Amino acid sequence: MEISEAEFAVTTADGFEAFLDSRNEPEWLQQKRRDAFALYEDYSKKDLDPEEFRRLDLRLFRPNDYRIRSTGDDSSAAGQFNNLMTERGEFAGQVAHIDGKPVQSQVQAELTEKGVIFCSLAEAVENHPELVQKHLLTQAVQPDTDRFSAWHAAFWTGGVFLYVPRNVELTQPLHSLIGLSRSGTADFSHTLVVLEDGARATLLEETSSADANAAGMHMGAIELIVGAGAHLAYVQLQTWNERVFHFAHQCGRVAQDGSLQWTVSALGSKFSHVHQDVMLDGKGANAQVNGVAFATDRQKLSYYTRQAHKAPHTTSDLLYKEVVRDRARMIWRGMIDVDEVAQLTDGYQRNDSLILSRDARVDAIPGLEINADDVRCTHAATAGQVDEEQILYCLSRGISRQEAMHVIVEGFFSQVFDRIPVELVRHTLSQTVQEKLGFGLED
């Protein structure tokens, strides 16, 4: 059967209606999308939050340049993506999307027998509607947060669903790839992870471009729902090419005594603006947040992080490390919020940046908002340049300037690499960093 190519504009009511018609979805979901689109239209008439967008110039972003595609080019399989973990690791399951379309979905049979679900979100809507309806855009990411969350909620297409039943422990990691291939594609993928009480899992996700020159947009969301006593390790490696605009609302919720270890790496994209929230909802909940960012050329990466302590005895520990070079710019704004009831919490945030060129810039803005009186919350931010004496020391031992730079940058990241539990991730990160250092070096 020949399927005709369909494209949908993502900013107009006509585009939205045509998109809705093309989806074979239950009514509750279509209604949810309609509500979100109405919100999006409202938000679009209003100005963006001036405080948030003061440092972010969106003039170069033209939403009308991008389309959702109902059919994609299936031949562009994972093989075209550079330096992926997929090729080097062993996984208990793999799901891949390219240009918003699922192209691969598999999971070990023994996991399925235990009730684990790992598939594309569209498949999950079909086969497990009650689970999706309960968790999708209800608890973690809220569609009415801002223009971008509403937009995502109206148009989400690709994305992955992981569900781990009570007390089921996965030993091997799972892998998800969200790829962009053709120029002008809008990707609205959504990651939804639900761990029931006592469950354990590791999910490694990569967002990457198959074509180094294809312009694209990613309007994503990530929801990580961690049950009582459950443990989730989630890693997202973001290596879009430098023609992709990346927006995302990401939120993790952790119930009593649960723990979330969340690593983000921001290496790619032309422009990123990401909200990353962790909410410690239950007593004794814990979150560790690791960030590795490396911006070069004219990349502009903005990360807003929030550690929300909503219950007593909760702990959070955030460490972001960023390197900027050329004319790149990195913005980090971190908040620790402590609710009145969240006594005896321990919140920590630290941001270190290394600035390799005169024209590169970092704005790191930590913040605390504490409403409980018996807590320990601390933050620290440092910024520095590569010390010429360190370079000379390396050179004097026969190491070339470029390798010296790599040694120093990698050393700078090592503190955060050391916190990443999966060797494969460390290795992939280190290789990607090395690749990035390889071109456009000054001198």
* Contact residues for another protein, defined by CB under 8 A: 387-390, 392-403, 406-408, 410-415, 438
Q: For 406, what's the count of Cα atoms within 13 Å in the CB-facing half-sphere?
A: 16
Helix (H, G, I), strand (E, B) or coil at 361: strand
**Complex with another protein: residue 47 or 443, whichever CB lies closer:** 443
Provide the minimum distance between the beta carbon of 329 and another protein in the complex, in angstroms, as a whole number: 24
Helix (H, G, I), strand (E, B) or coil at 124: helix
**Complex with another protein: residue 132 or 409, whichever CB lies closer:** 409
Query: Is 251 exposed, middle or buried (CB count within 10 Å of its CB: 0-12, 13-18, 19+)?
Result: buried
Helix (H, G, I), strand (E, B) or coil at 31: helix
**Complex with another protein: residue 306 or 321, whichever CB lies closer:** 321
Distance separating alpha carbons of residues 300 and 330, to the nearest angstrom: 6
**Complex with another protein: residue 273 or 350, whichever CB lies closer:** 350
**Complex with another protein: residue 207 or 353, whichever CB lies closer:** 353
E strands, 70-187, in order: 93-98, 101-107, 117-120, 159-164, 174-180, 185-187
**Complex with another protein: residue 75 or 402, whichever CB lies closer:** 402
Distance separating alpha carbons of residues 101 and 210, to the nearest angstrom: 14
Provide the minimum distance between the beta carbon of 320 and another protein in the complex, in angstroms, as a whole number: 15
Provide the minimum distance between the beta carbon of 406 and another protein in the complex, in angstroms, as a whole number: 8
**Complex with another protein: residue 367 or 438, whichever CB lies closer:** 438
Distance separating alpha carbons of residues 109 and 171, to the nearest angstrom: 14
Provide the minimum distance between the beta carbon of 434 and another protein in the complex, in angstroms, as a whole number: 8
Distance separating alpha carbons of residues 314 and 102, to the nearest angstrom: 38
**Complex with another protein: residue 79 or 411, whichever CB lies closer:** 411
- Beta pairing, strands 329-338 & 300-309: parallel
**Complex with another protein: residue 113 or 388, whichever CB lies closer:** 388
Distance separating alpha carbons of residues 16 and 35, to the nearest angstrom: 12
Among the listed residues 65, 69, 94, the one whose alpha carbon sits nearest the alpha carbon of residue 6: 69
Provide the minimum distance between the beta carbon of 429 and another protein in the complex, in angstroms, as a whole number: 13
Question: Pseudo-torsion of CA 398, 404, 406, 410, nearest 10°?
Answer: 100
Provide the minimum distance between the beta carbon of 360 and another protein in the complex, in angstroms, as a whole number: 20
Rounded to 5°, the CA angle 244-245-247 comes to 135
Distance separating alpha carbons of residues 162 and 176, to the nearest angstrom: 10
Distance separating alpha carbons of residues 121 and 234, to the nearest angstrom: 17
Provide the minimum distance between the beta carbon of 390 and another protein in the complex, in angstroms, as a whole number: 5
Provide the minimum distance between the beta carbon of 418 and another protein in the complex, in angstroms, as a whole number: 8
Provide the minimum distance between the beta carbon of 396 and another protein in the complex, in angstroms, as a whole number: 5
One-character DSSP codes across 277-318? EEEE-STT-EEEEEEEEEE-TT-EEEEEEEEEE-STT-EEEE
